[in-house]
Amino acid sequence: MGMNFQKAVLGIEFGSTRIKAVLIDENHVPVASGAHDWENQLVDGVWTYSLDAIWDGLRDCYADLKRDVKEKFGATLTTIGAIGFSAMMHGYMAFDAKGTLLAPFRTWRNTITGPAAAELTKLFNYNIPQRWSISHLYQAILNGEDHVKDIAFFTTLAGYIHWQLTGRKALGIGDASGMLPIDPETKAFYPEMIEKFDALVAPKGYPWKLGAILPEVLCAGEDAGKLTAEGAKLLDPDGDLQPGIPLCPPEGDAGTGMTATNSIAKRTGNISAGTSVFAMIVLEKALKNVHEEIDLVTTPTGSLVAMVHCNNCTSDLNAWAGVFREFADAIGAKIDANTLYGSILNSALTADPDCGGVMTYGYFSGEHVTGFEEGRPLMVRMPDARFTLGNFARAVVFSALGAIKIGMNILDAEGVKVDRMTGHGGLYKTPVVGQKLTAACFNAPVTVMETAGEGGAWGIALLAEYMLNKAEGETLDDYLNNKVFAGMKSSVLEPDAKDVAGFNKFMERYVAALPAERAAVETMK
């Protein structure tokens, strides 16, 4: 089996539980992969990963990929066409002039920046969530942390890795948009926000100005530097990997998710439905009002994206499936996961459109969109409800999309239009059901692709490939549509008017009965 490694492209993504490497060939198809599982640590009340965990994890993941290449192609990886890195967005990594990390890496999971986020949201008249890098920086200032005066550079995890491998303090625009707001017109941080921030912290007398410690912002396709000799050694201590390989702008996991689902164009979106759920819609224009339920980030090309993120999605479905599995075992029926989930979910297709008066809240944890700090999974129904397997299953799926729907209603009121959504994640593993009910939620066609499982490492590989191979004037959207996704198998389901009406009726009850969920939280201790 021959393989032209000069045309192959490597993407590596640092997810919250796994570092994944994917090597793709010139047909955009994954041909080798590597992985390393890792966990964040709670140290002194802060969720973090140590620098050792980052580098050991990266090397182990790369070594795993190298082994896979050797097994499949009988060759040792020495060079490739391009490399891209992506990682969890947001968080805080601050360095001094010597490049020393000044405080343990604070990840997006931390909710320790409440006062800073609230004050900056007011100051900028722009929703600044707690996990954003600027919230972390300002909270460190409010806390009077000693390290702040020594900051020469601060960035995200992907920006840090990229800097160490290339020497360039650069960041892809999508990842940058989770540090500080980006102006979609100029594709740069808003200068007036930088000025306001400098004025706000001027009394502290720090020797730096915000503009000077932020990374350089790059759009998809731009040159972001080359692998240095030191960088090659960091990635491959064996010394087989040669320097000089071009790197694309490092991106965040939101941007690679948009790329992997072909959701870069305006009026398109994607929904990732697993343990938690988020929906991203590419906007035609800025929103008129500031909504704390809606995060604004950008695509890797700098278009504005509205993101609704909710903490709870499929956990309740999984818990109920566990009960049905126990029942199956009790009556001596051996059942595999696909049959189990398929049987429960498919019953939802023949149920009453509005779930027949059955209501559930799958709140395992709090849900900020509906104002809950903690949750209690709850099922409640009218005495005359039609309590069938189908109505129960349908209610569990509708409820999994309930909080997201409230966020979508805010966008709807802002006049945001969606032509096409792409679904990925666990909810879409069983064919049709999740897809059909999501189409009811968004009142838009929902596409599920064959590659739904490839994820972010494939997404960043595609971004590196685009930088390497794009024609003069070819946009990322054109490249993805015409070259990557053109021949790809996918299924599209249009919304059914009865389902849409049923979902809306279910949502009226969902909102009206939220005080029942509140009572459960307050009384079940």
- Give the model's pLDDT for residue 18: 93
Together in a domain, 238 and 369: no
Tokens of 84: 């891209």
CB neighbourhood size of 414 (10 A): 16
pLDDT surpassing 90 at residue 513: yes
Residue 432 lies in a domain: yes
Together in a domain, 321 and 303: no
User: CA–CA separation, 244 vs 499, rounded Å?
Assistant: 55
Position 487 confidence tier, pLDDT thresholds 50, 70, 90:
confident
- Give the model's pLDDT for residue 19: 96
Q: What is the 3-state secondary structure (H, E, C) of 101-133?
A: ECCCCECCCCCCCHHHHHHHHHHHCCCCCCCCH
Together in a domain, 369 and 444: no
pLDDT digits (tens, 9 = 90+) for 115-135: 999 999 999 999 999 999 999
User: CA–CA separation, 134 vs 376, rounded Å?
Assistant: 33
Are 49 and 40 contacting, i.e. CB atoms less than 8 angstroms apart?
Answer: yes
Position 454 confidence tier, pLDDT thresholds 50, 70, 90:
low
Together in a domain, 231 and 209: yes
pLDDT average, residue stretch 10-20: 94
Pairing, β 46-48 against β 490-493: unpaired
Together in a domain, 459 and 365: no
Question: Among residues 459, 380, 433, 5, which one has the least CA distance to residue 220?
Answer: 459
pLDDT digits (tens, 9 = 90+) for 62-85: 999 999 999 999 999 999 999 999
CB neighbourhood size of 71 (10 A): 9
Residue 61 lies in a domain: yes
pLDDT surpassing 60 at residue 310: yes
Are 214 and 139 contacting, i.e. CB atoms less than 8 angstroms apart?
Answer: no
DSSP 156-220: -HHHHHHHHHHS--EEEHHHHTTTS-EETTTTEE-HHHHHHHHHHHGGG--S--HHHHSPEEE-T
* Cα-Cα-Cα-Cα dihedral sign, residues 506, 512, 517, 520: negative
pLDDT digits (tens, 9 = 90+) for 161-219: 999 999 999 999 999 999 999 999 999 999 999 999 999 999 999 999 999 999 999 99
Are 156 and 169 contacting, i.e. CB atoms less than 8 angstroms apart?
Answer: no
- Give the model's pLDDT for residue 151: 98
pLDDT digits (tens, 9 = 90+) for 350-364: 999 999 999 999 999
Tokens of 419: 């032509």
Together in a domain, 164 and 24: yes
- Give the model's pLDDT for residue 335: 94
Are 320 and 301 contacting, i.e. CB atoms less than 8 angstroms apart?
Answer: no
pLDDT digits (tens, 9 = 90+) for 429-452: 888 999 999 999 999 999 998 765
pLDDT digits (tens, 9 = 90+) for 287-307: 999 999 999 999 999 999 999
Lowest mean pLDDT among 306-310, 377-381, 428-432: 428-432
- Give the model's pLDDT for residue 196: 98
- Give the model's pLDDT for residue 20: 96
- Give the model's pLDDT for residue 453: 53
Buried-exposed string 431-468: b where 16+ CB fall within 10 A, e elsewhere? eebbbbbbbbbbbbbbbbbebbebbbbbbbbbbbbbbb
Q: What is the DSSP letter of 453?
A: G
Residue 132 lies in a domain: yes
Position 2 confidence tier, pLDDT thresholds 50, 70, 90:
low
User: What is each CA distance from 117 to 102, 175, 253, 288, in whole angstroms?
Assistant: 21, 18, 22, 20
Are 290 and 121 contacting, i.e. CB atoms less than 8 angstroms apart?
Answer: yes
User: CA–CA separation, 478 vs 523, rounded Å?
Assistant: 54
Gyration radius of the chain over CA positions: 24
Share of the chain above pLDDT 70, in %: 99
> Number of structural domains, the chain?
3
3-state secondary structure of 228: coil
pLDDT surpassing 60 at residue 504: yes
CATH of the domain at 246: 3.30.420.40
CB neighbourhood size of 406 (10 A): 19
Together in a domain, 43 and 68: yes
Question: Among residues 147, 136, 142, 141, which one has the least CA distance to residue 103?
Answer: 147
Tokens of 60: 């182990």
Determine which helix (DSSP H) or strand (DSSP E) holds 219, and give its type and residue range: none
Together in a domain, 230 and 296: no
Residue 320 lies in a domain: yes
Are 291 and 410 contacting, i.e. CB atoms less than 8 angstroms apart?
Answer: yes
Tokens of 309: 């993120």
Position 426 confidence tier, pLDDT thresholds 50, 70, 90:
confident
pLDDT surpassing 80 at residue 522: yes
Q: What residue type is assigned to position 455 of the chain? A: G
Q: Can you give the residue range of the structural domain that contains 473? A: 262-311+405-492
Give all strands (DSSP E) within 267-377, no chain letters. Answer: 268-273, 277-282, 295-298, 304-310, 358-361
**Virtual CA dihedral for 198, 224, 270, 109, nearest 10 degrees?**
-50
Residue 1 lies in a domain: no
Residue 287 lies in a domain: yes
Residue 202 lies in a domain: yes
Are 419 and 444 contacting, i.e. CB atoms less than 8 angstroms apart?
Answer: yes
pLDDT surpassing 70 at residue 1: no
The mean pLDDT of the chain is: 95
Determine which helix (DSSP H) or strand (DSSP E) holds 478, and give its type and residue range: helix 476-479
pLDDT digits (tens, 9 = 90+) for 221-259: 999 999 999 999 999 999 999 999 999 999 999 999 999
Residue 2 lies in a domain: no
Q: What residue type is assigned to position 94 of the chain? A: A
pTM for the whole structure: 0.91
Together in a domain, 434 and 468: yes
Together in a domain, 169 and 297: no
User: CA–CA separation, 23 vs 8, rounded Å?
Assistant: 7
DSSP β-bridge partners for residue 19: 14, 36
DSSP 369-411: GGTBSS---EEEE-TTS---HHHHHHHHHHHHTHHHHHHHHHH
Together in a domain, 296 and 351: no
Together in a domain, 85 and 185: yes
- Give the model's pLDDT for residue 275: 86
Tokens 């240095």 correspond to 228
